Chain A
């Protein structure tokens, strides 16, 4: 769907965030970018989104998937909601910015809220919601345009484990239901193995893709998968890959 070719990114202050990063995002997959903090995962995600320009290399979109408004949904680390307006208006924002009329937007907003289980909360303000619910609103907002590519930047890192597990399950259900391609940034081995069909393990200084792992376990995955020997084995393999990547990153 989209390919990063030899991406390098140097920040204006001289920090080399990414160097020689190659990554293919395939149609319909759930790809995790796994790596230690500071390895440029988020930067890579922002480059895919077009929010940041690479200083080297290029982003190649498959034909038909030209970057355009509504193609991409983005979920940030924080819910990033507008506090001054209701849940409904927050979710409606992408449609509004894309010029969808209010009457046409209503049904789509309601559907998006339904998807995350917050249909009854459309008229409340974000401050009235719990952290997990705010993140659901954020996901509903990203999905309201039915994007082909959903980019998620450690969306559940700040949530408690119970909420995170629930959101993991709901995210997988939505992903399978919508057929969206997902690129998910995380520093959690367990989360990446549970969710992904493929994991790109990144090394730092400079940030690059160190190795890629296919997670072949079948979907749907649930609580049984989380406690299965298969899951444990996959986590062990992924942890080992991450350890190698971190050792490689520490070399001068």
Chain B
């Protein structure tokens, strides 16, 4: 019960927040000390303070690029979720569709996206190609997990539905979809991070500048110009974006499953 958290539980929660912060503070302190002690040049390793300073001075450029990358990531994620989900349902409804298409889904997954990106860029405008790359890497976990979930339905429950003459649509809606929800959400958590990876990989492959350039391009650009502090600042933003995506999806997962699924329950009730 939330209202009556025991002292132990509260301490547990405080530790879960405090410990990573302490680790971060420790690493940053060593980093800053090393830069100061050996007088390392900013174009080799900028100090943490300089990274933050760059983040502030270059904020309009970096945030604009972050927005571009994030929009691609979210679009890729949504399309991957839809695509993976619809394909998984189709596979479940028809063995023939599954046999026909599954190997190609695997091929898309096992071919490194960074190798596909240049080809896509030949045929598509850059934003579309980047989006397709984000989609390619993110859709497979949704497909694989949802397929697994749809297959993991309790056989006795399936028999029960058959006993009462349930239509295939009812079985899908009232049995298979709720039963596969935990698996599907697990797939989404992986897909969220991967769509960011896909977007960044494709941006690097694309490598062209202009107003519509994402963070990955800013990193490349900063590298050419030996603007190492900006590289760090852009990288930091990507890190934060990835973390936010991960924890948002973890929250969705928790909210959707907290009333019934083992994974979202407290160990002791």
Judge whether A127 and B163 touch: CB under 8 Å.
Answer: no
Q: State the Cβ distance, B118 to closest chain A Cβ, in Å.
A: 45
At the interface, yes or no: A175 with Cβ under 8 Å from chain B?
Answer: no
At the interface, yes or no: B94 with Cβ under 8 Å from chain A?
Answer: no
Chain A residue numbers with a CB within 8 Å of B175 are: 82
At the interface, yes or no: A76 with Cβ under 8 Å from chain B?
Answer: yes
- Count of inter-chain pairs, beta carbons less than 8 A: 58
Judge whether A127 and B178 touch: CB under 8 Å.
Answer: no
- Total interface residues on B, CB under 8 Å, equals 23
Annotate A182-208 by CB proximity to B: 1 below 8 A, 0 otherwise.
Answer: 000000000000000000000000000
Judge whether A83 and B260 touch: CB under 8 Å.
Answer: yes
Judge whether B165 and A84 touch: CB under 8 Å.
Answer: no
Judge whether A80 and B156 touch: CB under 8 Å.
Answer: yes
**Using a CB–CB distance below 8 Å, which chain A residues touch chain B?**
46, 49-51, 69-70, 72, 74, 76, 78, 80, 82-85, 93-94, 96-98, 125-128
Closest to A89 in B: B174
A72, B157: Cα distance in complex, Å: 15
Chain B residue numbers with a CB within 8 Å of A70 are: 164
6 A-B interface contacts by CB (under 8 A): A84-B259, A84-B260, A93-B160, A94-B160, A97-B165, A98-B164
Closest to A70 in B: B164
Judge whether B179 and A84 touch: CB under 8 Å.
Answer: yes
Judge whether B156 and A125 touch: CB under 8 Å.
Answer: no
Given contacts A49-B163, A69-B164, A69-B165, contact A84 B156 (CB under 8 A): no
Chain A residue numbers with a CB within 8 Å of B156 are: 76, 78, 80
Rank and list the top 6 A-B pairs by shortest CB-CB distance, nearest first.
A97-B164, A80-B156, A69-B165, A76-B156, A84-B178, A97-B166
Closest to B182 in A: A84
Chain A residue numbers with a CB within 8 Å of B164 are: 69-70, 93-94, 97-98
Chain A residue numbers with a CB within 8 Å of B162 are: 51
Annotate B234-269 by CB proximity to A: 1 below 8 A, 0 otherwise.
Answer: 000000000000000000000000011110010001
Given contacts A76-B156, A80-B160, A97-B165, contact A85 B178 (CB under 8 A): yes
At the interface, yes or no: B58 with Cβ under 8 Å from chain A?
Answer: no
A142, B162: Cα distance in complex, Å: 14
A97, B165: Cα distance in complex, Å: 7
Closest to A69 in B: B165
Chain B residue numbers with a CB within 8 Å of A83 are: 260-261
Judge whether B160 and A127 touch: CB under 8 Å.
Answer: no
**Using a CB–CB distance below 8 Å, which chain B residues touch chain A?**
154, 156-157, 159-166, 170, 174-175, 178-179, 181, 259-262, 265, 269
Chain B residue numbers with a CB within 8 Å of A127 are: 260, 262, 265
A49, B160: Cα distance in complex, Å: 10
- Partner among A49, A72, A84, A128 whose Cβ is within 8 Å of the Cβ of B261: A84
A74, B159: Cα distance in complex, Å: 10
- Partner among B159, B170, B259, B261 whose Cβ is within 8 Å of the Cβ of A97: B170
Chain B residue numbers with a CB within 8 Å of A125 are: 259-260
Chain B residue numbers with a CB within 8 Å of A49 are: 159, 163
A46, B260: Cα distance in complex, Å: 30
Interface centre among B156, B163, B259, B261, by most chain A C-beta atoms within 10 angstroms, is: B163
Chain A residue numbers with a CB within 8 Å of B265 are: 127
A139, B107: Cα distance in complex, Å: 48
Closest to B256 in A: A84
Judge whether A82 and B178 touch: CB under 8 Å.
Answer: yes
Q: State the Cβ distance, A53 to closest chain B Cβ, in Å.
A: 12
Chain A residue numbers with a CB within 8 Å of B174 are: 93, 96-97
Chain B residue numbers with a CB within 8 Å of A51 are: 159, 162-163
Given contacts A82-B157, A84-B181, contact A50 B260 (CB under 8 A): no
Chain B residue numbers with a CB within 8 Å of A94 are: 160, 164
A51, B166: Cα distance in complex, Å: 13
Q: State the Cβ distance, A84 to closest chain B Cβ, in Å.
A: 5
Closest to A97 in B: B164
A51, B162: Cα distance in complex, Å: 7
Chain B residue numbers with a CB within 8 Å of A82 are: 157, 175, 178-179
Other than the known A51-B163, A128-B269, what 5 A-B pairs have Cβ atoms closer than 8 Å? A49-B159, A74-B159, A82-B175, A93-B164, A98-B164
Chain A residue numbers with a CB within 8 Å of B165 are: 69, 97-98
A26, B163: Cα distance in complex, Å: 21
Q: State the Cβ distance, A112 to closest chain B Cβ, in Å.
A: 15
